Structure 1
């Protein structure tokens, strides 16, 4: 009988491969300049969403503008789970969330992100406050973490006004937004110590020195040197030319001197994503510091495939998992 190796090369999930093949003809090439790339990326998001029939559920929402000390104001959009804004005595859990886009693209107005926020709010019965933080390279660190911190503080201060409870506030983010979410938990520990019930990190970037990137799972057709080069390009746009900034804890939460006193965490990673190294290393660092943490790696998934709910079965599972964690906040606040 043929021998079966215990160390088989990771393979792309067939559902992801089919979904990517379907989307490829819909995507226009992105130009090199940041503003042009951002514009075309949003147009691609709208085109793909229209072709796939992705629509935002008709749930209540409202945009507010939050002042940020020493930095540009930040827009936040409040998403309620029902057709009307929650009453001030509703006592709902709140998730403060930061979108992903490599610090350079995406936002709360993208069709895909708006639909995701509305679906999660509706399915989990929670309020989501999504921050539309500024893009690099036009705005660079520390603008983004300070904007996200101000969005979080605003949410805590106005929790009851928007129908929530300040002892049932969670913080979350995906990719670069996961970096910002983790930074906010560190800032909160250092500055205010508001109760945070959960930190939800989805394929997060947590070490901007690229020191924890794991290239073992990526395709042989995409050499690690190319992936690292692309990562460093995004980091340079975000941090500028001063490479020492990448070691600041609020830029690279993985490199913080201590992770003690941080909130419980759910960290989701994907097998075919170099950032799985960041997420899994952070899970170990949190656990070693006494922080309750659950980390799950989705086999055969890529950096963005878990956002493809309705088209990739693993993405549907990830959605149900996240909704379940958010629903649990109805029963118990932060310790």
Structure 2
């Protein structure tokens, strides 16, 4: 059989068909879209059989200079924190949720289950940071909040039973944007050791110059949606779209960024962002791997237990995170380009 164009994976298409009749119509305002998505979160989790696993957790609220307070939740890999602490020196992943800067949070069933499962399966501590929604709060508050969460995790690593020399930063979609910005802020401000930057279908260029197409969404509609998202997050100042903490792909230098693993999806309009970022890091001599998931959409990696690729990506991410338990690889210096 010959395929003339990319197609959505049959398993992902089946899940989309099952969920579509259950999803509410998207509201016109950010607040309405947020309410609709929050109402759909438990429905989607029920349909996919997603339930939070039993691991120890603890919450904190941080004061952030010139920005709203930031919540965070710590997840240990075992039901008892003491059992995890006995292991000592566990790797720590500081992770940020996705949602177009306007929806989702660490209390959502899907994200909470995601953080719990990732901590348990990789045998690590996960620190999930929450940031303010746009348009009520705008850039640069969000990266400053995420930076504060990372700084707190690094400073309290040993108290948590973790190792400040085995830190990782990660995020998906808009959370990938903030993860990359946080890693860049760390490079510029503190140079704390970061062993891994993990980005999943990340949004990295708010100029939208790398925005691709997406099946089922007319290009004009996609461009308008992107324009609305950017305006909500950054406000009317178009110059901010090139600020490297808003658009990490627009940085003038990538030297000193941590080793990075990126996952993109073939049918995702953001695929170009992640792959261009991988090329930029590689050109700067940063160890980077980028995997494109064929036949997948922006959200299908979240269809655990229903889409084989989603389960495989989870296992691949867990294997990557488990390398944090090992000594880092000392690569020779890359050839200058």
TM range (shorter): over 0.9
Within the candidate set 175, 192, 200, 1:177 is matched to: 175
CA deviations over 1:89-119 (Å, ceiling 9, x no partner): 6110000001000000001001011111111
Quote the residue 2:335 is aligned against: none
| Residues 280/99 of structure 1: CA separation in 2 closer, same or farther (3 Å cut) | same
Which residue number in structure 2 is paired with residue 79 of structure 1?
Answer: 75
Cα shift at 1:326: 0.5
Match of 2:311 in 1: 316
Q: Could you tell me whether the CA contact under 8 Å between 1:59 and 1:79 is conserved in 2?
A: yes
Counterpart check, 1:47 vs 2:43 = yes
> Which of 102, 105, 114 is the equivalent residue of 1:104?
102
Q: Which residue of 2 aligns with 1:284?
A: 279
SS at match of 2:255: coil
Whether contact under 8 Å (2:200, 2:262) holds in the other structure is yes
1:110-148 C-alpha deviation (Å, 9 max, x unpaired): 101111111111000000000011100000000000000
Matched, 1:14 2:13: no
- 2:159 is the alignment partner of 1:164: no
State the partner residue of 1:120: 118
Q: Secondary structure at the match of 1:78?
A: strand
Aligned to 1:17, what secondary structure does the other structure show? Answer: helix
Query: For residues 204 and 74 of structure 1, what CA distance do their matches in structure 2 show?
Result: 22
1:291-306 alignment runs, 5 A limit: 291-306=286-301
Q: Indicate the residue corresponding to 1:68 in structure 2.
A: 64
Q: Counterparts of 2:48 and 2:248 in 1: how far apart (Å)?
A: 36
Pairwise CA distance, 1:334: 8.7
SS of residue paired to 2:58: strand
1:274 to 1:122, Cα distance in 2 relative to 1, 3 A: same
TM-score by length of 2: 0.95
Give, in angstroms, the shift of residue 70 of structure 1: 1.5
Counterpart position of 1:144:
142
Does 1:205 pair with 2:200?
no
CA distance in 1, matches of 2:280, 2:85: 40
User: 1:194 and 2:164 equivalent?
Assistant: no
How far apart are residue 26 of structure 1 and its match? 1.6
- Consecutive unaligned residues of structure 1, counting only runs of 5 or more, are none
Shift of 1:333: 5.0
- The 2-side partners of 1:122 and 1:61 are apart by 12
SS state at 1:30 partner:
coil
Once the two structures are TM-superposed, the CA of residue 288 in structure 1 deviates from its matched residue by 0.1
> Greater CA deviation, 92-101 or 33-42?
33-42
- Give the whole-Å Cα distance in 2 for the aligned partners of 1:52 and 1:273: 21
Q: Do structure 1's residue 222 and structure 2's residue 222 form an aligned pair? A: no
Aligned length: 328
Is this contact kept in 2: 1:98–1:174, CA < 8 A?
Answer: yes
Aligned to 2:265: 270
What is the alpha-carbon distance in structure 2 between the residues aligned to residue 89 and residue 50 of structure 1?
34
Runs of 4 or more above 6 Å deviation: none
How much is the aligned-residue C-alpha RMSD, in angstroms?
A: 1.4
1:32 CA drift (Å): 1.6
Aligned-partner Cα distance in 2 for 1:150–1:91: 22
Alignment partner of 1:302: what SS?
coil
Is this contact kept in 2: 1:168–1:334, CA < 8 A? no
